Amino acid sequence: MDNMFEAPGAFRFDKAGFHPQIPGRGGRPPLDHRTDQRPARHHRTIFISDTHLGTKGCKAEMLADFLAHNECQTLFLVGDIVDGWQLKRRWFWDAMHDAVVCEILRKVDGGTRVIFVPGNHDEFARSYAGRLFGGIEIINETIHETADGKRLLVLHGDRFDGVVTNAKWLAHFGDWAYGIMLNWNDKLFKIRKALGLPYWSLSAWLKHKVKNAVEYICAFEVLVAAEARRRGADGVVCGHIHHAEIRMIGDVLYLNDGDWVESCSALVEDARGNMEILRWATPTQRSADHTGQASAPAPAFIPA
């Protein structure tokens, strides 16, 4: 198992690539993170992306906890769920990464519609678009209609990143450098946790402080919104840049669900079509009352 991950009844992924299997149900292993009695919150739709399973930077424990305590009718996996780039360079997969996959498959077994929209890090799955594996639909991009009738284009967003599309070697180099920064991020997280301090992302803070990074994020958002407008959609849901955001860009609603290596965020839709970003690293957002309703939103732990 050091060089292979096999999701129960879904697929096998090893250094040679992605290997679909015949779907099966049942037989999920027990999960240690399901020990508390917090009630599950219920949403119409959940969007998550950029989990980067297969890397040490993935906050798999928080992600498994989020999936265990948030239910939905439809779950969108908006790309870079499994990090094929990193797994080809260095294999990493632990029990909490297993737990994340098992939580997703438990949702499938419970009747949740799960749609996987591959990104650039899990581009190996794009050739399987239109197929169903382990109850998970693989679609390169799609339209989601909200409860209040908005049509949202759902895609990962990497094709609007000039570095990824025009200089892939540079994208791989940047990914390597980003991995080093996330390694320092994890060291800081462990120190803060030992001191009883809340989660705080060094990499996210640096990204917000560097002018070029801020300009890159803004340019990406405008390009993605323009594509949604061209397609006649009311808005767009994407990932890729690890920056959770809800804002209007002209007449287009731009929504980015963030990531699970820095901000530990997800985008959720309620029964009326209202959209909200949940930041699971924030203690107040992990808590819920007996009705399963979330506490008031709180900002991420990123200093001004």
Q: b vs e for 15-31, b when ≥16 Cβ sit within 10 Å of the residue's Cβ?
A: eeebebeebeeeeeeeb
Instruction: Scan for tokens 């920056």, then name that residue.
Output: 243
Q: How far apart are CA 160 and CA 218, in angstroms?
A: 12
Q: What is the pLDDT of residue 39?
A: 87
Run of H or E residues at 162:
helix 162-166
* CA-wise closest residue to 61 among 95, 107, 27, 108: 95
Can you give the pTM of this predicted structure? 0.74
For residue 158, what are its two tokens?
């990497």
Q: How far apart are CA 186 and CA 198, in angstroms?
A: 13
pLDDT-above-70 percentage for the chain? 64
| pLDDT tens-digit map of 221-257 | 999 999 999 999 999 999 999 999 999 999 999 999 9
Integer-rounded Cα radius of gyration of the chain:
18
| pLDDT tens-digit map of 30-60 | 455 565 678 899 999 999 999 999 998 899 9
Map out the domains of the chain with their CATH numbers.
Answer: 40-286 (3.60.21.10)
Helical residues (DSSP H) of 24-156, grouped into ranges: 60-68, 84-89, 95-109
| pLDDT tens-digit map of 91-107 | 899 999 999 999 999 99
Residue 172 has pLDDT above 50, yes or no: no
For residue 232, what are its two tokens?
């006649």
Residue 279 has pLDDT above 90, yes or no: yes
Residue 278 has pLDDT above 90, yes or no: yes
Q: What is the pLDDT of residue 219?
A: 85
